[in-house]
Structure 1
Amino acid sequence: MRDLGTGFGYLAKGQRWVASHGRWLGIGLIPGLITLVLYAAALTGLALGADDLIAWATPFADDWSSPWIDLFRGFLTVLLFALGLFLAVITFTAVTLLIGQPFYESLSEQVDKSESPDGTAPESGLPLLRELWISARDSLRILVRALLWAVLLFALGFIPVLGQTVVPVIGFGVTGFFLAQELTSVALQRRRVEVREQLAMLRANRMMTWGFGVPLALSFLIPFVAVFLMPGAVAGATLMVRDLRGENQLPPQQPQSGDPSLYAAGGQPAAPYGQQAPGAYGQPQAPAPHGQPMQPAPQAPEAYGQPRQPMQGNPYAK
């Protein structure tokens, strides 16, 4: 059963995988560090200029008396920064994956090889520039969807009580879903799975998707944690993709030649299903013509290879 625990289990397995492959952990940290510096600068600028931006956007409140104007604009400032943080969490993965596409592609491929029985990994067969274009295009589509959700949740945040209790929970659920989509897209793009199919696959397994993405979204609120979790998140997402596509299931076992079940009584090979078993001593039993009785199997030979003579008369007659 694919539930929340299953999704979280794949997140933990991914972290363990990169921990046991230190080289890939170091490679996976590079794109996250670059993105972290960019986002830290953007959020710092938003925090410093949020008051002026809210004052410019609400000129109708200039004549309000204190403390109402301060409470109103302070509330909007908090919501604006929360919206910026929400978008940063959602888009952090997309931007990091875009910057680190070659790094995470190699990481995901290595995870596939380590889990595959034959040591191979699916390949898209596309040039690198084509893969980067597809990744950027799909990330933009997901970003548009995330922005629509962000605007809706921002508007719902004005509802008393509901906006401070239910809306944040929904927000983390949405964030976790889109995080899982972005991370699984690394492995799914190599399998030529389009965005619509990706979303349909994740919606069909919402509980597992939330179990994977929501804890990751919560951890991203802690500074620097996202950078260190990204390589393991990519590895865990690859493992989850293998489960969703049934690639972790072992092929059916083929019977061995020495399997006793392959032989019928007397040491003769058993006939395949739907075919007639061979006759005595390995001779095929010919089908009888229509309307004629079936011919009996040949008689067993007597000792020393002599044929058995037919019995004459009634041996019990006096």
Structure 2
Amino acid sequence: MTQKKTLPFPAKSGVNYFLDGFGLITRKGLRTFVFIPLMINLLLFAGVIYVAIGQLDAMFTWMNAQLPDYLSWLNFLLWPLAVTTMLVMLAFVFSSVMNWLAAPFNGLLAEKVEQLLTGKPLNTGTGIDLIKDLPRILGREWIKLKYYLPRALVFLLLFLVPMVGQTLAPILWFLFSAWMMSIQYCDYPFDNHKVSFKDMRFALNQTRGTSFSFGATVTLFSMIPIVNFIVMPVAICGATAMWVDKYREAYRNHAIAPE
């Protein structure tokens, strides 16, 4: 019989946990595990941003050719809105693709961070065991993608609704991205302990304020040039610190679980 109750979680915001990640990635013993996902992030993100900006520029060049001169002022309004919308959308869309490639390394980084913070090894096995576990790890990424895609489609369709949709859609997309960023990065330490995706979402929903503030901070930092290259390892470290503080003991004692 599981219990559903309010737990005495530490009163620390998701913003603080994310910022803690900047300190953790520099800690001795973690740098090697940070380097691989960092390089994957750097190379792929730079390429995607380069292509996206080029496509955006081509779109505005075409649009300017269609507009009469007296509407040229729309450029000053639409460019910032288009760039902001593109960055918010790419922040998660790109991260989803990237995390498929980096998932085994991300889980390993989360494991090492937890070991550093608790002083206790997780005993998750050898490198051979990690390779054997790849189907399950990628299957977990597929579960997250199935959760994300239909919801993302609904929010993206709002962009096609004249006036109201174009005003509300960027805000709603940002909030949805914040929730998904929290799910994406918190999932690694949860998955290391074989906590199901459903139970993980329930736990994050129990601490909704922390979850959203963490995800929103990840999303905002993902939109900052240069800084966005290190967001992935920072977010993994911060999410693992949040797991250790808020969920680790609760799951050990079976104090938090869906009914």
TM-score (norm. length: structure 1) = 0.61
Structure 1 distance, partners of 2:250, 2:113, is 12
In structure 1, the partner of 2:257 is none
Query: Are the equivalent residues in 2 in contact too, given 1:122–1:191 (CA < 8 A)?
Result: no
1:159 aligns with 2:196: no
Structure 1 distance, partners of 2:189, 2:231, is 17
- Using a 3 Å threshold, how does the CA distance of structure 1 residues 42 and 227 change in structure 2: closer, same or farther? closer
Which structure dedicates a bigger proportion of its chain to helix?
2
In structure 2, the partner of 1:221 is 223
Query: Are the equivalent residues in 1 in contact too, given 2:156–2:169 (CA < 8 A)?
Result: no
Return 138-147 or 179-188, whichever deviates more.
Answer: 138-147
Structure 2 counterpart SS, 1:19: coil
Q: Which of 54, 63, 70 does residue 67 from structure 1 map onto?
A: 70
Structure 2 distance, partners of 1:240, 1:31, is 20
In structure 1, the partner of 2:145 is 140
- Using a 3 Å threshold, how does the CA distance of structure 1 residues 13 and 41 change in structure 2: closer, same or farther? closer
Aligned-pair RMSD on alpha carbons? 3.7
- Using a 3 Å threshold, how does the CA distance of structure 1 residues 243 and 78 change in structure 2: closer, same or farther? same
In structure 2, the partner of 1:297 is none
- Using a 3 Å threshold, how does the CA distance of structure 1 residues 32 and 179 change in structure 2: closer, same or farther? same
Return 97-106 or 177-186, whichever deviates more.
Answer: 97-106
1:47 aligns with 2:61: no
Structure 1 counterpart SS, 2:174: helix
- Using a 3 Å threshold, how does the CA distance of structure 1 residues 240 and 152 change in structure 2: closer, same or farther? farther
The amino acid that maps onto 2:249 is: E
Structure 2 counterpart SS, 1:45: helix
In structure 2, the partner of 1:11 is 18
The amino acid that maps onto 1:10 is: Y
TM-score (norm. length: structure 2) = 0.72
Query: Are the equivalent residues in 2 in contact too, given 1:19–1:25 (CA < 8 A)?
Result: yes
Gapped regions of structure 1 (runs ≥ 5) = 252-318
Query: Are the equivalent residues in 1 in contact too, given 2:89–2:173 (CA < 8 A)?
Result: no
Structure 2 distance, partners of 1:248, 1:228, is 30
Paired residues for 1:155-194 under 5 Å: 155=160, 158-159=163-164, 163=167, 168-194=170-196
* Cα offset, 1:144, TM superposition: 0.6
Find the structure with the greater CA-based Rg: 1
Task: Give CA-to-partner distance per residue, 1:188-247, whole Å, 9 cap, x none.
Answer: 122223333322222221101122121221111111212224323212211212334342
Structure 2 distance, partners of 1:233, 1:75, is 32
In structure 2, the partner of 1:204 is 206
Q: Which of 29, 34, 40 does residue 35 from structure 2 map onto?
A: 29
Structure 2 counterpart SS, 1:20: coil
In structure 2, the partner of 1:289 is none
Structure 2 distance, partners of 1:243, 1:50, is 42
The amino acid that maps onto 1:141 is: K
Structure 2 distance, partners of 1:108, 1:158, is 43
The amino acid that maps onto 1:97 is: N
In structure 2, the partner of 1:98 is 100
- Using a 3 Å threshold, how does the CA distance of structure 1 residues 35 and 149 change in structure 2: closer, same or farther? farther
1:121 aligns with 2:118: no
Return 136-145 or 47-56, whichever deviates more.
Answer: 47-56
The amino acid that maps onto 1:112 is: E
Query: Are the equivalent residues in 1 in contact too, given 2:103–2:138 (CA < 8 A)?
Result: no
**Identical aligned pairs, as a percentage?**
20
